[in-house]
């Protein structure tokens, strides 16, 4: 929070909003609506910039703003969306009713970014009781699925026949079920987080996907 003060050049107030200012803004918008942010503060009797008013309204005063902790579901949506969209906070927030881009951005920097970078930089440090937090017993086993996921995805998108050898698993979406076959241990080079992001990008056409494979579940539920 910034301390209330004034901009010497413009005479406009800056810093934390008082309850009175909030009430003035709410009262004005309730009565006249939003017509021009830069002109509105003057008519509303506020010594604030239009930008400041807009920000205060959009992020805190607007009806239906959701406050409080983010749910696990919201966490997953943010992490998944961020892997696909990058720092497009507005686009990510649009997937979370009641959450603002600012709130999502802050939450990402305060909580979620660490979870991803922690694994990116030093996955070994997450091993506990001889097993990583991702459910794998060693790094090879943990990294290979990332690379493997793309193969799985590719197979389920392009093959529905018996052309794939070896093990069989099932991938289902809300409107279809596709059998696919793969050979997990054929995957030779370890994957990276970029591979994982690529996986989610390719997966996006399948909404509400349920994956009948432990490694896929590992990434969708535990890693994120």
Partner DNA sequence: AAAGCTTTCAACCGCGTGGGT
Partner DNA sequence: AACCCACGCGGTTGAAAGCTT
- Calpha distance 139→110 (Å, rounded): 27
> Of 37 and 164, which has the nearer Cβ to DNA?
37
123 binds DNA (CB under 7 A): no
Tokens of 83: 């892997």
Distance in Å, CB of 185 to DNA, minimum: 39
Nearer to DNA, 17 or 180 (CB): 17
User: Nearest distance from residue 153's CB to DNA, in Å?
Assistant: 26
Give the C-alpha separation, 33 to 43, whole Å: 12
Window 47-66: residues binding DNA (CB under 7 A): 49-52, 54-56, 58-60
Assign 14 to helix, strand or coil. strand
Cβ atoms of 35 and 25 closer than 8 Å: no
Question: For the chain, what is the largest distance between any 2 Cα atoms, rounded to a whole number of angstroms?
Answer: 74
Closest distance between DNA and the C-beta of residue 50, in Å? 5
Total interface residues for DNA by CB under 7 A:
39
Among 24, 77, 81, 103, binds DNA (CB under 7 A): 103
Q: Determine the interface stretch with DNA among 6-14, 72-80, 117-125, 131-139 (rule: CB under 7 A).
A: 6-14
Q: Tell the smallest beta-carbon distance from residue 60 to DNA (Å).
A: 5
Assess 101 for contact with DNA (CB under 7 A): yes
Contacts of 197 (CB under 8 A, 6+ apart): 83, 84
Q: Does residue 16 touch DNA according to CB under 7 A?
A: yes
Tell me if 94 sits within 8 A of 106, measured CB to CB: no
Residues that bind DNA (CB under 7 A): 1-3, 7, 13-17, 34-39, 49-52, 54-56, 58-60, 87-91, 101-103, 105-107, 109-111
């Amino acid at each position: 929070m910034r301390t209330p003060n004034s901009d010497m050049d413009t005479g406009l107030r800056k810093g934390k909003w008082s309850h009175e200012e909030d009430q003035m803004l709410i009262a004005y918008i309730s009565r006249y609506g939003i017509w021009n942010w830069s002109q509105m503060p003057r008519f509303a009797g506020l010594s604030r910039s239009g930008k400041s008013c807009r920000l205060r309204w959009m992020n805190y005063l607007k009806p239906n703003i959701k406050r409080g902790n983010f749910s696990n579901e919201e966490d997953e949506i943010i992490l998944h969306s961020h892997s696909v969209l990058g720092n497009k906070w507005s686009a990510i927030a649009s997937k979370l009713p009641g959450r603002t881009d600012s709130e999502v951005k802050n939450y990402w920097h305060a909580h979620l970014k660490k979870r991803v970078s922690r694994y990116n930089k030093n996955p070994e440090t997450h091993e506990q009781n001889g097993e990583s937090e991702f459910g794998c017993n060693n790094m090879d086993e943990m990294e290979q699925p990332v690379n493997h996921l793309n193969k799985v995805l590719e197979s389920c998108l392009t093959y529905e026949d018996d052309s794939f050898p070896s093990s069989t698993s099932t991938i289902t979406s809300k409107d279809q079920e596709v059998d696919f076959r793969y050979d997990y241990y054929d995957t030779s080079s370890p994957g990276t987080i970029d591979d994982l992001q690529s996986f989610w990008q390719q997966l996006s056409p399948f909404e509400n996907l349920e994956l009948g494979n432990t490694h896929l579940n590992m990434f969708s539920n535990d890693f994120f």
